Amino acid sequence: MRVAALINDTVGTVAKARFSNQDVIAGVILGTGTNAAYIEHVNAIPKWQGLPPKSGEMVINMEWGNFYCSYLPLTEYDHALDVASLNPGEQIFEKIISGMYLGDIVRRVLLKMAEEAEFFGDTVPPKLRIPFILRTPDMSAMHHDTSSDLNVVGKKLRDILEIDNTSLKMRKIVVELCDIVSVRGARLAAAAIFGILRKLGRDTVKAGEKQKSVIALDGGLFEHYTKFRTCMENTLKELMGKEAAETIGIEHSNDGSGIGAALLAASQSQYVGSEES
């Protein structure tokens, strides 16, 4: 077996989406983890050495999951999660916006409420102390519960955390907590996408230009957590402003990583074949 190309899922997403849509300028993964890649002009890359590619462009893999700065709105629950993780001090941005961690942030807040406010009664439910027992898909299901008695919330609390006899008021608080955690993650994801657009000078509408900028997204969090996705898209429009927002498109690039990898491997094989001949 010969390896034709080695890429990550984010670059694959860009490749797959760009193959069918030349307006694609970036790819973002919002799933269990998160990352982004964007298309940059070679003359804007200080580290570039040698001859530029014929297109004059290069894909930049950002690894934005490892982003950290003092302005990130971290809470005591985020710090506790980070300390208990397998990689303390790393992937901080990923730990507050991606599907691996959102559900556990909710669990940690519920645990604090149970310990200090007796939210679930006189005793703390033992299951609440188990890390990652509450997954983000469970959080999403509770967040999207539209039943009058929030039956889904009650069932999740009972089946996963063994918490019985929750009142409607308690269930409403749980939904509100899911909303707070997901909205923070979604708005931060939108801010990061806006940062890419600003870096490329596509955050404003230039006179006489009608350029379209498309962001390709893949990942279960984006695909299945509707409230997260909607909040992210609305926040991006808010940051862009009404006129500039009309030039931005969000495209779901389903299995972009796999298809993109196949496309790049095929193109690289053709290139190598032509060089050898």
Residue 156 pLDDT level (bands cut at 50, 70, 90): very high
Residue 1's pLDDT is 65
The CA radius of gyration of the chain, in Å to the nearest whole number, is 22
User: For residue 142, which of 113, 111, 181 has the smallest C-alpha distance?
Assistant: 181
Residue ranges of the alpha helices (H) in 129-167? 136-143, 151-161
> Is residue 272 pLDDT above 70, yes or no?
no
Q: Which residue has the higher pLDDT, 50 or 151?
A: 151
Residue 136's pLDDT is 98
Residue 7's pLDDT is 80
Residue 154 pLDDT level (bands cut at 50, 70, 90): very high
Tens-place pLDDT, residues 178-236 = 999 999 999 999 999 999 999 999 999 877 677 899 999 999 999 999 999 999 999 99
Q: In what order do the strands lie in the sheet with 24-30?
A: 57-61, 34-41, 24-30, 213-218, 248-252
Residue type at 255 in one-letter notation: D
> Is residue 149 pLDDT above 60, yes or no?
yes
Residue 35's pLDDT is 97
Residue type at 45 in one-letter notation: I
The Cα 42–Cα 27 span in angstroms is 18
Residue 173's pLDDT is 98
Strand residues in 127-233 grouped as ranges (E): 213-218
The Cα 271–Cα 125 span in angstroms is 60
Percent of the chain with pLDDT over 90: 78
Mean of the pLDDT values across residues 115-134? 96
Residue 20's pLDDT is 87
Q: Against a cut of 0.85, is the pTM above it?
A: yes
User: For residue 67, which of 27, 96, 105 has the smallest C-alpha distance?
Assistant: 96
Which pair of tokens denotes residue 258?
A: 């796999």
- The answer to whether 8 touches 61, Cβ cutoff 8 Å, is yes
Percent of the chain with pLDDT over 70: 94
Q: Which residue has the higher pLDDT, 260 or 222?
A: 222
Residue 206's pLDDT is 79
Residue type at 227 in one-letter notation: K
Mean of the pLDDT values across residues 46-62? 88
Q: Which residue has the tokens 């929030």?
A: 150
Mean of the pLDDT values across residues 231-251? 95
Q: Which residue has the higher pLDDT, 114 or 209?
A: 114
pLDDT averaged over the chain?
Answer: 92
> Is residue 268 pLDDT above 80, yes or no?
no
Residue 269 pLDDT level (bands cut at 50, 70, 90): low
Beta strands 213-218; 24-30: pairing state: parallel
Residue 65 pLDDT level (bands cut at 50, 70, 90): very high
Mean of the pLDDT values across residues 64-82? 97
Residue 205's pLDDT is 86
